[in-house]
């Protein structure tokens, strides 16, 4: 509840500063084309599919899991992210996948850390591609410069953690957690990770940029690919404020970026509201469907599904 209050407070403050008119926003919401909703909902499942493909490509050599398992776990995690602050759903997708497959949760969590790095790294090659279309605003170079430095520190930490060095006592509780976690993190040092970094990681960002630019005219907003990418970066940066499903923060960041590009503030907020919830609601519905159809309990007794065999040499 505190996270939700924080997110909505950010949206209210941003709306006041930007001069948003609530009645005008409601008017824009009432005139939304049904096709805009259809396109946004369909896009949500494509984005989830591309994100799952990236995580699957990281996990598969380490844990031998199938793409379908990664996709279902991604949907479950996204559903809980819509309900919990600080991306708590990411931990629950680890719990879900561990129960469904019998794999070490620590190893899965290690691959998730690598996947999260690749997710944010995807901004960099996507931004380079955007440069071929137009020159972005100066603040984008500053944001990505700072972000690139943070990713470098994060990458260095993963390399240091996976180097041969500290070894906990065998059969200790720490060893049962640390060693599989290290095994999951070692995916970062594999050569295939750089194929993922340049070939798969940019795809969700490029797809969402294309969808934003394509859907915006249905709201009376015209965005170039570069301006759509800037809006995408802006509302993802705003989502670092801990709110369930980034409610309020996405609307505030996206509206501010759209206003920067000359869009009417009330129309911009209406667009961001529809776009954001057209992504959240399919993920919530999909997550509920997966859990109910599988009879899944995230905690307590395990399910009856047989664990998938570990690939040769993998560590549980």
Per-residue confidence (pLDDT) for residue 5, from 0 to 100: 67
Per-residue confidence (pLDDT) for residue 28, from 0 to 100: 62
Whether the model clears a pTM of 0.95, i.e. scores above it, the answer is no
Contact 221, 264 (CB under 8 A): no
Among 5-14, 65-74, 120-129, 152-161, the minimum mean pLDDT is found in 5-14
Mean pLDDT is highest, among 3-17, 21-35, 68-82, 164-178, for 68-82
State the Cα–Cα distance between residues 251 and 143, nearest whole angstrom. Answer: 19
What is the mean pLDDT of the segment spanning 271-291? Answer: 87
Q: What is the pLDDT of residues 25-82, one digit of tens each?
A: 667 666 777 888 888 899 999 999 999 999 999 999 888 889 999 999 999 999 888 8
Contact 308, 103 (CB under 8 A): yes
Per-residue confidence (pLDDT) for residue 8, from 0 to 100: 67
Q: What is the pLDDT of residues 229-258, one digit of tens each?
A: 999 999 988 887 777 777 788 888 898 999
> Can you list the pairs that 83-87 forms with residues at least 24 positions away whose Cβ atoms lie under 8 Å?
83/244, 83/245, 83/284, 84/3, 84/244, 85/2, 85/3, 85/4, 85/242, 85/243, 85/244, 86/3, 86/242
Confidence check: pLDDT of 274 > 80: yes
What is the mean pLDDT of the segment spanning 99-115? Answer: 92
Per-residue confidence (pLDDT) for residue 25, from 0 to 100: 66
What is the mean pLDDT of the segment spanning 183-210? Answer: 94
């Amino acid at each position: 509840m505190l996270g939700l209050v924080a997110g909505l407070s950010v949206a209210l403050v941003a709306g006041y500063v930007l001069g948003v008119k609530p009645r005008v926003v409601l008017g824009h919401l009432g005139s939304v084309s049904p096709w805009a909703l259809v396109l946004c909902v369909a896009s949500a499942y494509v984005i989830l599919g591309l994100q799952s493909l990236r995580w699957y490509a990281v996990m598969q050599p380490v844990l031998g899991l199938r793409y379908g398992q990664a996709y279902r776990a991604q949907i479950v995690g996204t559903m809980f992210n819509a309900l919990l602050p600080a991306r708590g759903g990411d931990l629950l997708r680890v719990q879900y996948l561990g129960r469904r497959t019998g794999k070490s949760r620590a190893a899965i969590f290690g691959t998730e850390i690598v996947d999260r790095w690749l997710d944010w790294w995807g901004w960099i090659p996507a931004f380079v591609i955007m440069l071929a279309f137009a020159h972005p605003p100066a603040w984008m170079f500053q944001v990505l410069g700072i972000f690139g430095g943070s990713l470098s520190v994060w990458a260095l930490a993963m390399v240091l953690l996976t180097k041969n060095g500290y070894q906990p006592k065998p059969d200790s509780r720490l060893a049962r957690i640390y060693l599989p976690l290290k095994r999951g993190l070692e995916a970062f040092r594999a050569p295939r990770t750089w194929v993922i970094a340049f070939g798969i990681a940019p795809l969700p960002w490029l797809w969402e940029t294309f969808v934003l630019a394509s859907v915006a005219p249905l709201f009376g907003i015209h965005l170039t690919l570069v301006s759509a990418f800037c809006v995408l970066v802006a509302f993802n940066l705003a989502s670092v404020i801990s709110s369930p499903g980034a409610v309020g923060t996405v609307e505030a960041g996206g509206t501010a970026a759209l206003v920067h590009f000359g869009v009417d503030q009330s129309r911009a907020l209406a667009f961001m509201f529809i776009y954001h919830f057209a992504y959240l609601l399919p993920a919530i519905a999909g997550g509920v469907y997966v859990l109910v159809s599988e009879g899944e309990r995230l905690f307590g007794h395990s399910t009856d599904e047989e664990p998938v065999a570990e690939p040769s040499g993998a560590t549980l």
